[in-house]
Amino acid sequence: MSFLEEIQRRRTFGIISHPDAGKTTLTEKLLLFGGAIQEAGAVKNNKIKKTATSDFMEIERQRGISVATSVLAFIYKDKKINILDTPGHKDFAEDTFRTLTAVDSVIVVIDVAKGVEPQTEKLVEVCRMRSIPMLVFINKLDREGKDAFDLLDEVEQKLGLHVTPMSFPIGMGYDFQGIYNIWEKKLNLFSEKSKTSITESIEFTDVSNPELEKAIGEKAANTLREELHLIEEVYPPFSREEYLRGDLQPVFFGSALNNFGVKELLDAFIEIAPSPQPKKSEERLVDSKEEKMTGFVFKIHANMDPKHRDRLAFVKIVSGVFKRNSPYLHVRHGKNLKFSSPNAFFAEKKEIVEESYAGDIVGLHDTGNFKIGDTLTEGEVLNFKGIPSFSPEHFRYVNNADPMKAKQLFKGLDQLMDEGVAQLFTIEMNGRKVVGTVGALQYEVIQYRLEHEYGAKCTYEPLQVHKACWVEATNPKNEEYKEFLRVKQRYLAKDKQGQLVFLTDSEFTIQMTLSKYPTVKLHFTSEFK
């Protein structure tokens, strides 16, 4: 297979959903189709449940599972599929945002009964802002749920999407009979048997065919005809260009648990979903078909064994071919590195590979060289964009609880922040450290890991912060900016990149500051240039 064919056949995507909508179940069924696993239940659920908060061994165990399921790759109909895992738990939303910088498209899973839930809203918003192509899967049709049209409305209104149904359910819950596949013009009937085998589908290019009554009964046949007619009038026809631009989202219905509608989803997906996309760097747009290798780190995972403190850095290859033992430029450090054992991911295993292509993910063993966002190239100085930090939700001072272990504490904090567990801010005035997180759970994870991996102890102290705002001075030399720095000095801090951050205590403070210092801009993300 040629270099270009290898790249064209790759489909790298993430599945996003609110916890419990069925992401794990769907992932597992997709893997079954790829022949990557033999039986259901092989994919571990890597959800970090709320109940795990006080159970650290549980957190550790789950961290282990999440390494294994970080990337799931398999071949289906000659396409190389890479599924990137995205934690659904809201305390790990940052992790998911970063993973979304490495996908070329997304499947959104929605529970037919619960409809659009908060975590789905947040994640879809990020995808929408980046114009990532999205496909929607409405799950659990075997259960009583919302009316399909109401649900489509809800998806449009709450998620700000433009949808077009590619399949449509016949009945629901107890009366669920199956799905009409608008895309392939086929009828798929649901039966108990379909749980264990791939269902037969019946070709129905014309739904006015009286055979339809025989298949699903007169009442359901008439309803389906009316509904399909309505769909044609209300929703735009599917257009791949619009989908790829992020302007139109095709919707599929099914039941992941019953393996129903999943094959149809996968078949449509491999046909319409994009191969590896070009990516913006600060310097230029990099095309996946360029022969020179470029890539960036979007995730770092610490080793589970505290005695071996090496880490696994996950690199998305943006262009070219990544080769084992080839020298690559680590752009931020300006030095060349070689990797003798790059890991590729296959189903739930990882193995050492000689070559990986644009679109693939490689896992590189790292002893502290990498941090999230780092770029690797064959020599060109490039910095990929799009891994911003967002304002954390929680803020606490961190204190050293063991004066003999100050060095270990700072090293530990430094490395945990490079992994993206949380954000560290240093108050300008007194050098105190503030840890900002998305969820309260991370504070316990940090404390636990500092102790077990670095031998350091910390305590926290509350700090009243509403939002961290990244400061941009449109005129850094003027008196106004100097006054801002003077007046607000108690609340100014540097993030790990050395960017200036204003730790505001309320929305009111933000508004007052903006009106008092018009040349100062406040941003809720670190990447605003």
d(CA 167, CA 177): 13
CB nearer to ligand GDP: pick between 155 and 435: 155
At residue 512, what are phi and psi to the nearest 5 degrees?
-60, -45
CA proximity to 73, closest of 268, 282, 302, 317: 317
CB nearer to ligand GDP: pick between 45 and 223: 45
d(CA 86, CA 480): 43
Judged by CB under 6 A, the chain residues 56 through 115 that form the site for ligand GDP are 88
87 assigned to a ligand binding site: yes
140 assigned to a ligand binding site: yes
CA proximity to 480, closest of 521, 449, 451, 447: 521
d(CA 384, CA 265): 32
CB nearer to ligand GDP: pick between 21 and 329: 21
| Shortest Cβ 120–ligand GDP spacing (Å) | 10
| Shortest Cβ 455–ligand GDP spacing (Å) | 35
| Shortest Cβ 190–ligand GDP spacing (Å) | 11
d(CA 193, CA 378): 53
Whether 434 and 493 have beta carbons less than 8 Å apart is answered as yes
Judged by CB under 6 A, the chain residues 430 through 489 that form the site for ligand GDP are none
Q: What is the sign, positive or negative, of the torsion defined by CA atoms of 230, 235, 236, 240?
A: negative
d(CA 148, CA 12): 29
CA proximity to 395, closest of 511, 522, 504, 498: 504
| Shortest Cβ 39–ligand GDP spacing (Å) | 15
Candidates 7, 11, 13, 22: give the one binding ligand GDP (CB under 6 A): 22
For the chain, the maximum distance between any two Cα atoms, rounded to a whole number of angstroms, is 83
Candidates 21, 212, 347, 465: give the one binding ligand GDP (CB under 6 A): 21
279 assigned to a ligand binding site: no
Judged by CB under 6 A, the chain residues 129 through 148 that form the site for ligand GDP are 139-140, 142-143
| Shortest Cβ 10–ligand GDP spacing (Å) | 24
Buried b (16+ CB within 10 A) or exposed e, 402-412: eeebeebbebb
Amino acid at 58: E
CB nearer to ligand GDP: pick between 41 and 210: 41
CB nearer to ligand GDP: pick between 87 and 276: 87
CB nearer to ligand GDP: pick between 19 and 217: 19
Q: In the block, which residue shows the tokens 């003027």? A: 478
223 assigned to a ligand binding site: no
516 assigned to a ligand binding site: no
Q: In the block, which residue shows the tokens 């080839």? A: 326
CB nearer to ligand GDP: pick between 21 and 166: 21
CB nearer to ligand GDP: pick between 107 and 257: 257
Q: Does 45 bind ligand GDP (CB under 6 A)?
A: yes
Judged by CB under 6 A, the chain residues 241 through 260 that form the site for ligand GDP are 255-258
CB nearer to ligand GDP: pick between 143 and 330: 143
CB nearer to ligand GDP: pick between 438 and 493: 438
88 assigned to a ligand binding site: yes
| Shortest Cβ 152–ligand GDP spacing (Å) | 18
| Shortest Cβ 45–ligand GDP spacing (Å) | 5
Candidates 23, 316, 405, 467: give the one binding ligand GDP (CB under 6 A): 23
139 assigned to a ligand binding site: yes
30 assigned to a ligand binding site: no
d(CA 500, CA 60): 34
| Shortest Cβ 23–ligand GDP spacing (Å) | 3
386 assigned to a ligand binding site: no
| Shortest Cβ 239–ligand GDP spacing (Å) | 29
153 assigned to a ligand binding site: no
| Shortest Cβ 347–ligand GDP spacing (Å) | 17
12 assigned to a ligand binding site: no
18 assigned to a ligand binding site: yes
CA proximity to 171, closest of 253, 256, 268, 249: 253
Strand order in the sheet with 105-111: 71-76, 79-84, 10-17, 105-111, 134-139, 249-253, 163-165
Q: Which residues have CB under 8 Å from 450's CB, separation 6+?
A: 408, 409, 412, 413, 416, 456, 457, 458
Q: DSSP for 159-213, please give it.
A: H---EEESEEEES-GGG--EEEETTTTEEEE--GGGGTSPPPEEE-S-TTSTHHH
- SS3 call for 396: strand
Candidates 12, 24, 101, 119: give the one binding ligand GDP (CB under 6 A): 24
CB nearer to ligand GDP: pick between 23 and 279: 23
| Shortest Cβ 112–ligand GDP spacing (Å) | 8
CA proximity to 130, closest of 467, 470, 388: 388
Residues that bind ligand GDP (CB under 6 A): 17, 19-25, 45, 47, 88, 139-140, 142-143, 255-258
Binding-site residues for GTP, in ranges, read 17-24, 85-89, 139-142
Residues making up the binding site: 17-24, 85-89, 139-142
